[in-house]
Structure 1
């Protein structure tokens, strides 16, 4: 553990409204590179004191930093700051703990949302909130609130699994829409439809394996490694995503059928 990051986490939870700090991303999962960022989730209740956060950032950061308050980075990622501490990138990401708990309650009932969010071209899938807690590493949690939630999210909800697997119908729909535009050379519409279809398949495959999918980055390769994923999933998905003509649509169509067959078998 980076000593500056550990000290920062303790200082953050002493600020008003910051209830806990968790390490996320590749460093939490043990898959980091030497140059990987330190991603810190700042879990708050109420309204975080942005001025206090800015003052603390100024103490640690190598250069001036702007802290974005709730909503400053969009409706789902919320806000935060990008710091460099002793030459190392440290990202603060604000998370409303009340909202995270509400989303977790919805997920246990099989309900989820997909919202528009900058930086998330396939949308922000709300199960990412509890997924971040499940896969993260709690660094500071004076009242044990995040630690308790992490214990709950260790078990993937079966109703959510069912809902996300059933969402694969939209992948078939998107491929059908792409087919209508492929003949006319409408590359934008075709590529968006195929990207949407592959993204949904990726979400469904993760859910089928009871594995949290947090965002698009690395999700395709991770899905390809799952035991029940169809053979050559990565290569076939890549072929569909790098084309915008009828051949790419045919590849995507066949892939959708194969994935849905796996999903149907897994839920039988």
Structure 2
């Protein structure tokens, strides 16, 4: 299957506008299971020949052009090859390089993106390059970018650690919602608060966090995580309660965990 993927990457790189292809996701990191998807980042500049991509994908596959899947996950296609899922994910190389420069300057943003319930964190772009495997790179641009992105920028680390203040702000809002018995609002506030802490824990260890999936399981093993971090988060989110009393108790425990985590990050 790997040879099939490598051949596909070479053919993708021949499409007008495509500058290179990277293998991403769990297969690039060696964390995959037999049934895991093959994620191919298709990096392009300027106009992209969507007709050529469609011809390569096949008659039964719809190729979504830039913006077709939302503002951050630009577009792509879902294929089946020998019964295995293969995902093409478009990436605007100009934008990726711009985001990388912002990260090096300690700036990031969190955008709304379908499929990302905690938002799309812009450092994901350079993180994908840093953790991916170059499959096709005719111009050498992806290899060069991967070399620079392999070093986690200290300004970005500092910015993400500083941004952890929002977790306490969200917990304060959750306390007000709990008093009203507003279970949805409490759940949203705590989920985002814990997501922010996970991002900060990754940054503290100079690790790229690419998305929410599996992030908690990795974050709880990082050195800055307080004892029982993962289990405590799972318990709080899994049994927050429905009454003002039970919700208030959950928020109180969450605030304690948030305070412990931030204290550990500051030490």
TM-score between both structures, scaled by the size of structure 1: 0.96
Cα offset, 1:14, TM superposition: 0.6
Any unmatched runs of 5+ in structure 1? none
1:209 & 1:3 partners in 2: Cα distance?
A: 34
The aligned runs of 1:75-224 (5 Å cut-off) are: 75-224=71-220
Q: Is the 8 A contact 1:179 1:249 kept in 2?
A: yes
Equivalent position of 1:252 in the other structure: 254
1:119 & 1:164 partners in 2: Cα distance?
A: 22
1:175 & 1:3 partners in 2: Cα distance?
A: 49
Equivalent position of 2:264 in the other structure: 262
1:5 & 1:182 partners in 2: Cα distance?
A: 50
Any unmatched runs of 5+ in structure 2? 242-246
Equivalent position of 2:235 in the other structure: 239
Cα offset, 1:3, TM superposition: 1.8
- Match of 2:46, SS state, is coil
Cα offset, 1:240, TM superposition: 2.0
Equivalent position of 1:31 in the other structure: 31
Deviation track 1:180-227 (CA, whole Å, cap 9, x = no partner) reads: 010221011000000010000000110011000000000111100112
Equivalent position of 2:244 in the other structure: none
Q: Is the 8 A contact 1:41 1:95 kept in 2?
A: yes
Pair 1:16-2:16 in alignment: yes
- Match of 1:121, SS state, is coil
2:46 & 2:256 partners in 1: Cα distance?
A: 48
2:250 & 2:218 partners in 1: Cα distance?
A: 22
TM-score between both structures, scaled by the size of structure 2: 0.96
Residue among 208, 222, 226 paired with 1:230: 226
Cα offset, 1:72, TM superposition: 0.2
Which 4+ residue blocks in structure 1 deviate beyond 4 angstroms?
none
Q: Is the 8 A contact 1:172 1:256 kept in 2?
A: yes
Deviation track 1:130-186 (CA, whole Å, cap 9, x = no partner) reads: 000000000000111000000001110000000000111000000000000102210
Equivalent position of 2:49 in the other structure: 49
Cα offset, 1:228, TM superposition: 2.0
2:127 & 2:236 partners in 1: Cα distance?
A: 28
Q: Is the 8 A contact 1:239 1:248 kept in 2?
A: no
Cα offset, 1:246, TM superposition: 1.4
